[in-house]
Every structure is written in structure tokens, then in C-alpha cells.
Amino acid sequence: MIIVTSGYFNFNADMKIKDTIDKIRAYFYTNQTRNPDFRIEQLKMLKKTVIKYKSEIQKALYYDLHKSPAETMLTEIGIVLNEIDFAVKNLKEWAKTEEVETVPYLKPAKSLIVKEPFGIALIIVPFNYPLQLALTPLVGAIAAGNCAVIRTSHRTPETSKVLNQIISETFTSDYIKMFLPEEISSKDIMQGDFDYIFFTGSTQAGRQIAKTAGERLIPYTLELGGKSPVIIDDTADLKVSARRIVKGKFMNAGQTCIAPDYLFAHASIREKLILEMINAIQEFYGTYTPESTDYGRIIDIEAFNRLSKLIKSSKDKIIYGGHSDECTLYIEPTLIVEDSVNSDIMQEEIFGPLLPVLEWTDINRVKEYIRQKPKPLALYVFSEDKEFRKDIFKSLSFGGGAVNDTINHTAGENLPFGGVGASGVGRYHGKYSFYTFSHLKSILISSTERKDDIFCPPFTKEKINLINRFY
């Protein structure tokens, strides 16, 4: 091991990363990626390969996370294909140089905004949506004209293998390169001379990424998480609300960064809402959830043990669920009647199929509680009262959210997705991905016909009067 100022790293891994980046940078400097037609062709090739490996992707995600083929199509493959189609359709318009108004005292001149790729983007992928969260940022990086390096999670080995096959079959390694976790560690990959870092993962890991990137002045996007609340009042349609809360919470066994983390229900409807959520759970997954082919599993024993401790600490408050099987990493959809915001389960992001249900009578106390916590990635309001909804959204800061729904605000290409504060830095999806991976370069084209007297000393009384006319 070699000691450097930023920590320890493996010499062989460091050389491998350096050689890879040197080759990619040489390719980037050929300016091939700056051609919009080239970018469109690469995206079309990616779409073709993803479709080709659809079955392999579904099998791999079932192995790694017990995701059903339908859920994989909805939350992984389908989202990627839509992003590609949207980028292909709009890329040339996004990439156009924009001419903007020139300030009067610089005329005659042209003011231009040039959309320029950063260079080599590093995309660090989490375990929970490994295909979507690798390829959706990649679509933005390619659309903006960048080269890229992808590093996936060691917790999804089968999906990583299929993803590596897709990348290596679609792109040359001096353009887009993927490293498997066993090839390069997450710490080693950060030693690379990248021009942009796109990270999706935990807030704790995000802080370390930000620290490392900040020391080297590398721009970055952080897609993190947090405790995303649901607020429901007494005007809400309880059956519809219950179904949509259950859908968002228990998809992927609760391992979704924008899943409802806890729920504040108006005291007058909490019991009825819980009954409706139980009905929805049984409708979606059956009365014996282990037999459901549509219900996921916890990613590994470490996550299973963490969630098991939360179940144990809440055992006297569980109104539905609570069962688990260590051998299969199964944890039942679990509803917890919680009456204290100081309980263990309210102190950390749950990231699993446990939902604390609290009650409220004074909405101002709910708002004050949420304000005192780190800003969440998502917030959901269920209500038919427009003024109530408006007040919540005006009063609280969060990444994004929905009214009378959960998680679906991230499904469209026209809405930006990203956090705020502790839940993330930056945004992407659709054109926002293009701009995330683009440097906006300002260019002024001045005419030699313009007199520069106003800018040049000596500043006579006549010049000062002229300056005052402009300001």
C-alpha cells in the first residue's frame, strides 16, 4: 500500500484507473463526442442493447433484489428507455448555442452561451436501482458530449455483470468504461482525474464524496436520501391514499430513496387509514407475503440486521407485519403505530419495509418537526384541501414531491429530480440531465467598430457623464 495525502490506495488499481482515464481523455480530445449526431447514434445503440438484454436484466435483478420482471420493467428498463427516447428527440435543440441580449454599452457585439461537455464523468451507482441509476445519468452524460466511467455496487453482482456486458458491447472502452466492484474499490475510483462526479447513495457516503471532490475542485451531483414524510388530513380519500402510500413504501421492499419514510395522519382518520393500508398490502402481495412473486427482499444480511433491530425496538407498536426470515432476507411489510418522534425508528432513514404511522391534531407542530430535521428528498401530501396543500409546500423545503400520490413525480422526463440540503446537490432527468453534465460557456464577440473610450482612462467629465447614462 502507498500512503498519499488523501488516504490509502492500491498502486495497481491507481495505475489501472490512470491508464483508463488517459485513454479516455485522448479520445475526448478528438472532439468526436462534440458532434450531436454522434451522441444520438450512441444513445440509439444503447437503447438497442438494453432491449436485447431485457430478459437477462430481469433475471439478474430478481437474483439480486427479488424484483419481479414487471417491477423491473416499470422502475428500471422502462425509465431508461424513456430517457433515451427523450434525449434523442431533443438533444440537438438542447445543444444549440444560444444568443442572448448584449448589454447596451458593449454593442455592437454578440453574447453567446455555448453548451460544452465537462470531459470525463464518473458515475457511482447504488444497489437499489442499479440499472436505472447507472444508465439514466449516463444518458445525460452522453447527450451533453461527455465520456464516462461507471462504477457499480458490490451488493448487486449479477446486475453488475449484465450491465458490464451492455456497456462493453455498446461502447468502445476509450469512450465509456465500466469497472466491476471487484476490479476497483469505491475509494480507489475516487483517485481518478475526473471532470465531473455523479453519485447516488447514502448521505454519509455523499459527504465523503463532496469532501474529496471539493479538495480537488471537481464539480459534482449528489443524489442522496433522508426521511421523506407523508402528511394526510381528514379530507383525503382514504382508500386511494392507502393504496398509493403502500405502493410507494413497499416497492423494492422499501429500498427506495424517495419511499415514504414515516406518515403523519390526522388523529380522526389514523385507524381507518391503517385498515385501508392493510387491505392494500394484502391486495398487492396476498395474505402470505413470502409467497408473492411481486415482493422484494432486503439486499444483504447487514441491512437485514439493521432493520431487524428497528423491528425489535418497535415490537409493542406493530399493528401489522413484523415477521422476517434471515435465510431469505425477507421482511414483511410492517405498519407501526408510533406515538413518539423520539423513538429509534424516527432517528434514521429506514430504507426498508417498515412504516411508522403517527397522528397529528395541530399541523403547525408537524411542520415545526419537519423543519427541525434535515431537508428530505421527498414529501407527500394527501388532501382535497387546496389551501392545506399549498400551505405545506410553501412552509417546508424538500427535494420534490406529490399531491395524492407517492414516488411518481420522478417518472417523467419534464420534471427535475434532486435533493436539497442533506438530501442532495443538483438535479437530473430529461433536459436537466443535459444541463447537469454541461458547462455553460459565455462568449462575447465584440465588433472592432465599437469605441472603447468609455473603458479607457483618463476618465474625463464627459466620459463619467456617459458612464452614468448606462448605470
In total, how many domains does the chain have? 2
Amino acid at 51: I
Read off the pTM: 0.95
Q: Summarize the confidence of residues 65-85 as an average pLDDT.
A: 98
Would 466 be classed as within a structural domain? no
Per-residue cell: 390: 399549498
Q: Summarize the confidence of residues 276-305 as an average pLDDT.
A: 98
In sequence order, what are the beta bridge partners of 334?
354
Per-residue cell: 189: 475510483
Reported as type and span, the H/E element at residue 142 is helix 132-143
Per residue in 214-248, pLDDT (tens digit) is: 999 999 999 999 999 999 999 999 999 999 999 99
Active-site residues, by number, are: 223, 257
**Full DSSP string of 261-320:** -EEEEETTTHHHHHHHHHHHHHHHH-SSGGG-TT----S-HHHHHHHHHHHHHTGGGEEE
Do 218 and 291 belong to one domain?
no
Would 449 be classed as within a structural domain? no
Q: Are 66 and 295 in contact (CB under 8 A)?
A: yes
Domain holding 330, by residue range, is 229-418
Whether residue 3 has pLDDT greater than 70:
no
The domain that holds 217 is classified in CATH as 3.40.605.10
**What is the rounded distance in angstroms from the CA atom of residue 179 to the CA atom of residue 151?**
5
Do 193 and 236 belong to one domain?
no
DSSP state of 183: T
Would 456 be classed as within a structural domain? no
Would 49 be classed as within a structural domain? yes
User: Which residue reads 414515516 in cell numbers?
Assistant: 262
**What is the rounded distance in angstroms from the CA atom of residue 176 to the CA atom of residue 423?**
28
pLDDT band at 2 (very low <50, low <70, confident <90, very high): very low
Do 289 and 207 belong to one domain?
no
Count Cβ neighbours within 10 Å for each residue of 74-107 and write b for 16 or more, e otherwise: ebbbebbbbbbebbbeebeebbeeeeeebeeeee
Do 188 and 214 belong to one domain?
yes
HSE of 126 in the Cβ direction (CA atoms, 13 Å)?
Answer: 20
User: Which residue reads 475516487 in cell numbers?
Assistant: 190
The domain that holds 341 is classified in CATH as 3.40.309.10
Do 172 and 291 belong to one domain?
no
Would 31 be classed as within a structural domain? yes
Helix, strand, coil % over all residues of the chain, rounded to 5: 45, 20, 35
**Least confident stretch, 13-22, 44-53, 118-127:** 13-22
Per residue in 396-427, pLDDT (tens digit) is: 999 999 999 999 999 989 999 999 999 999 99
DSSP state of 385: -
Do 132 and 110 belong to one domain?
yes
**What is the pLDDT, as a whole number, of residue 423?**
98
Would 146 be classed as within a structural domain? yes
Per-residue cell: 255: 429500498
Would 460 be classed as within a structural domain? no
Whether residue 285 has pLDDT greater than 90:
yes
**What is the pLDDT, as a whole number, of residue 283?**
98
DSSP state of 440: E
Do 283 and 396 belong to one domain?
yes
Final residue belonging to a domain, choices 402, 418, 434: 418
pLDDT band at 455 (very low <50, low <70, confident <90, very high): confident
Do 183 and 61 belong to one domain?
yes
Do 68 and 169 belong to one domain?
yes
Whether residue 11 has pLDDT greater than 80:
no
**What is the rounded distance in angstroms from the CA atom of residue 117 to the CA atom of residue 440?**
9
Per-residue cell: 406: 407517492
Do 219 and 244 belong to one domain?
no
Decide: helix, strand or coil at residue 143: helix
**What is the pLDDT, as a whole number, of residue 7?**
44
Final residue belonging to a domain, choices 418, 435, 464: 418
Do 68 and 205 belong to one domain?
yes
Do 187 and 239 belong to one domain?
no
Residue 318 CB partners (closer than 8 Å, separation 6+):
311, 334, 335, 336, 337
When the pLDDT of each residue in the chain is averaged and rounded to a whole number, the result is 96
Would 463 be classed as within a structural domain? no
How far apart, in Å, are the Cα atoms of 178 and each of 149, 193, 197?
A: 6, 16, 14
**Full DSSP string of 77-130:** IHHHHHHHHHHHHHHHHHHSPEEEPPPGGG-SEEEEEEEEE-SEEEEE--SSST
